[in-house]
């Protein structure tokens, strides 16, 4: 859930919202493991995976847990289950590994299952490696050992992930050190691969929300993104929705003053031209998907304002019949 402002309006999503939104989609979770912790897939069976609700009564001494996920999976070739605890840290903490170990032990006691912790470090600074193991030895009397994957995205090379076709890795690459061109490519390829792989609306929204937040673009980058998306959309009919789906990136740039301004006297003409361009793209998409669509539907489409054109572009991806499409347009 996103935080709300004082007036109750929906506010900018928090870091925890974005991480949970991304990894709460099982398809994206599997892609996350393939990209960053592939060894998990050697022993874990996710065919019947489920997310565990860890929100339960706690004493005042228990730490608040708002940045983690708990996933129940099965061992391969075994009947027993185990848990994977993914903890996300948006700021540096010296005791992050001890904390994730504590959570794993608490959950193992509550659910009576072994728990494997994974620690995600999503902050930019400090740019230094974090320990991935604890080893406390007390002579021959006792030993406490903890070792788990610690992923500090800022320290990773983004290039393999930008070329991977892995949507989770593409989205998470926005946390890495990207140059201006790589930022544009991270957004374009996240969207392109999600469309190529026929992601569901929820999966697509989760991936795009992540890169929208963590890969903000400057004016020249917005222009590069529009051109890159236009080129991709022209070469593959599957990618035809891309010019419509990047509108939120452009709108964010405008709100934050990153889009290049032009003469005020030409503002109205620009808006009209952009709306006409969006209509032309959507008209082509509509006719490609439903060749027998009625002329009435095109008339209804032309009557939509810019906001509804954007909404229609997103809805069109998931219509299964002409009737469903016309019904949406009729409601306007």
Q: How confident is the model over 272-331, as pLDDT tens digits? A: 545 556 676 777 777 777 777 766 677 778 778 777 877 888 788 788 888 888 888 887
- Give CA–CA dist 193/7, Å, rounded: 37
107, 235: one domain? no
Q: How confident is the model at residue 12 (pLDDT cuts 50, 70, 90)?
A: low
| Domain boundary, last residue among 234, 262, 290 | 262
Rounded to 5 degrees, what are φ and ψ at 131? -55, 145
In a domain, 5, yes or no: no
252, 305: one domain? no
Q: Is 302 helix (H, G, I), strand (E, B) or coil?
A: helix
Greatest mean pLDDT among 12-21, 31-40, 258-267, 321-330: 31-40
Is the distance from CB of 40 to CB of 141 less than 8 angstroms?
no
| Domain boundary, last residue among 227, 262, 297 | 262
209, 241: one domain? yes
The pLDDT, as a whole number, for residue 268 is 46
In the structure encoding, which two tokens stand for residue 247, read together? 């509108």
Range of the domain at 220: 170-262
Q: How does the average pLDDT of the chain come out, rounded?
A: 82
24, 87: one domain? yes
Q: Tell me the mean pLDDT in the region 231-252.
A: 83
C-alpha 249, offset from chain centre: 14
**Considering only 123-132, 263-272, 299-308, which range has the smallest mean pLDDT?**
263-272
The pLDDT, as a whole number, for residue 156 is 96
Greatest mean pLDDT among 66-75, 164-173, 225-234, 320-329: 164-173
81-89, strands of its sheet edge to edge = 44-51, 68-75, 81-89, 115-121, 150-152
19, 143: one domain? yes
CA-based angle 131:135:139, to the nearest 5?
Answer: 155
146, 230: one domain? no
* Other beta carbons less than 10 A from residue 300's beta carbon: 18
284, 221: one domain? no
**Considering only 36-45, 103-112, 237-246, which range has the smallest mean pLDDT?**
237-246
Cis peptide before 292 (omega within 30 of 0): no
- Give CA–CA dist 239/290, Å, rounded: 16
- Give CA–CA dist 115/104, Å, rounded: 5
C-alpha 95, offset from chain centre: 27
In a domain, 163, yes or no: no
254, 287: one domain? no
231, 316: one domain? no
292, 250: one domain? no
| Domain boundary, last residue among 155, 183, 205 | 155
216, 319: one domain? no
Q: Is 125 helix (H, G, I), strand (E, B) or coil?
A: coil
pTM of the predicted model over 0.85: no
Q: Tell me the mean pLDDT in the region 124-133.
A: 88
**To which H or E segment does residue 74 belong?**
strand 68-75
- Give CA–CA dist 22/246, Å, rounded: 18
In a domain, 7, yes or no: no
In the chain, the N- to C-terminal Cα span, in Å, equals 28
108, 35: one domain? yes
Number of domains in the chain: 3
The pLDDT, as a whole number, for residue 285 is 78
In the structure encoding, which two tokens stand for residue 69, read together? 């996920």
């Amino acid at each position: 859930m996103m935080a709300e402002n004082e007036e109750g309006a929906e506010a900018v999503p928090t870091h925890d919202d974005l991480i949970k939104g991304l990894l709460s989609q099982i398809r994206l979770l599997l892609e996350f493991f393939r990209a960053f912790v592939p060894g998990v897939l050697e022993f874990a069976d996710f065919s019947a995976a489920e997310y565990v609700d860890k929100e339960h009564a706690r004493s005042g001494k228990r730490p608040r847990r708002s940045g983690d996920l708990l996933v129940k999976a099965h061992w391969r070739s075994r009947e027993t289950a185990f848990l994977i605890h993914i903890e996300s840290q948006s700021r540096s903490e010296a005791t992050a590994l001890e904390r994730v170990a504590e959570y794993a032990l608490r959950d193992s006691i509550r659910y009576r299952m072994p728990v494997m912790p994974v620690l995600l470090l999503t902050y930019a600074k400090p740019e230094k490696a974090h320990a991935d193991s604890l080893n406390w030895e007390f002579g021959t009397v006792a030993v406490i050992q903890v070792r788990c994957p610690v992923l500090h995205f800022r320290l990773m090379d983004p290039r393999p992930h930008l070329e991977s076709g892995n949507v989770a890795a593409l989205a998470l690459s926005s946390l890495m050190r990207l140059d201006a061109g790589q930022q544009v490519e991270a957004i374009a390829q996240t969207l392109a691969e999600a469309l190529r792989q026929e992601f569901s609306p929820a999966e697509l929204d989760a991936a795009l929300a992540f890169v929208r937040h963590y890969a903000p673009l400057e004016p020249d980058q917005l222009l590069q993104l529009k051109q890159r998306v236009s080129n991709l959309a022209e070469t593959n009919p599957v990618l035809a929705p891309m010019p419509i789906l990047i509108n939120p990136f452009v709108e964010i740039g405008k709100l934050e003053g990153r889009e290049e301004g032009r003469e005020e006297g030409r503002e109205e003409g620009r808006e009209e031209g952009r709306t006409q361009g969006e209509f032309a793209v959507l008209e082509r998409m509509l006719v490609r998907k439903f060749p027998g669509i009625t002329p009435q539907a095109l008339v209804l489409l032309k009557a939509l304002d810019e906001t509804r054109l954007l909404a229609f572009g997103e809805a069109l991806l998931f219509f299964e019949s002409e009737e469903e499409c016309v019904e949406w347009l009729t409601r306007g």
